[in-house]
Structure 1
Amino acid sequence: MSSINQSRRRLFSRKKSDAVHLPWVKGDIAFTDECTRCDKCISACETNIIIKGDGGFPEVNFSIDECTFCKKCVEACPEPLFIQTDEAPWAIAASIQNTCMAYQGIWCQSCKDACDERAISFTMAVGKAPQPSIDTDACTGCGACVAPCPSDAILIKQ
């Protein structure tokens, strides 16, 4: 099976729980009640990670790129959907799944190389590939580690 077909299959098999809302969205509102689906946030996103999700509502897709926390989505939105941007953008962090190549004995540290916050580290182990771990306190949830992962082993979740 080609990688394009696998990629399309993953796209259409995404679970609703995998959807990531935009940074700084108020937690006390029903996003789908307040968002008008005007797509201004999609157009404003400098890394093009905001896509039309279920029902046409915007959501973040880290398989495209990372969130740079530029705040352009917040500035472009005409609705009162967002909290003050001096607060943490969201309560999400990366997690490593069992499909990680290091767990299969293959030396790979692409996620660590992509992480500017140095939240991902690898521990050397005798007779094994170095094993990954994520410091969730240091992880900003930017998603920089997701796209470079060759085995789609990193999820950003709450």
Structure 2
Amino acid sequence: MSNVNQSRRRLFSRRKSNVIRPPWSKQDIEFTDICTRCDRCIEACETKIMIKGDGGFPEVNFTIDECTFCQKCVEVCPEPLFRDTSEQAWQLKANINDTCLAQQGIWCQSCKDACDPRAISFIPAIGKAPQPQIDTDICNGCGACVAPCPSNSITLFDRKKL
């Protein structure tokens, strides 16, 4: 395939993004097609986790704080960007990588302490620090566990995009 054809394919193909959009928002491609980048959702966010991302579109940044599912972003948006709020906000689930302090033998449970739904538990282990375990059936994707993690070991992923 020629370089020209590869460039055209990249230009016209739409990639799935790893960006986290506001809760209850429609699929990423539909979202960016409709969003006018008015910033009302960013201004309305009670925990200020929404930021102006790539292209000026709103993104969620859980390193700032958590989502309280207050629905203010949905209420202030003048465009049809959001699904029904009686549905689940999103399919985000927490994931702990191997840089976790507990996995390095250091006693830390800051993520567990921050998790209101109690989706994070720690399994006792003989001779080492208790190890974290996430119950993805309980995790609501609020992101409360991300900011308090001292080693930035927790990320949220969208189960629909796997």
Q: Given the two structures, how large is their TM-score scaled by the length of structure 2?
A: 0.85
Q: Offset of 1:27 from its aligned partner?
A: 3.1
Cα distance in 2 for partners of 1:130, 1:23 equals: 32
2:98 match: 98
Q: Any residues of structure 2 matched to 1:125-136 within 5 Å, and which?
A: 125-136=125-136
- Match for 1:36: what amino acid? T
After TM superposition, the structure 1 = structure 2 runs for residues 9-158 of structure 1, keeping only pairs within 5 Å, are 17-27=17-27, 30-158=30-158
C-alpha separation between the residues in 2 aligned to 1:148 and 1:44? 23
Q: 1: distance between equivalents of 2:133 and 2:93? A: 12
Counterpart residue type for residue 71 of structure 1: Q
Q: Percent identity?
A: 71
**Alignment partner of 1:64: what SS?**
coil
Q: Which has the larger radius of gyration?
A: 2
- Partner of 1:78: helix, strand, or coil? coil
TM-score with structure 1 setting the length: 0.87
Question: Which shifted more, 82-91 or 29-38?
Answer: 29-38
- Alpha-carbon shift at residue 26 of structure 1 (Å): 1.9
2:41–2:72: 8 Å Cα contact kept in structure 1?
Answer: yes
Q: Which runs of 5+ in 2 are unaligned?
A: 1-15
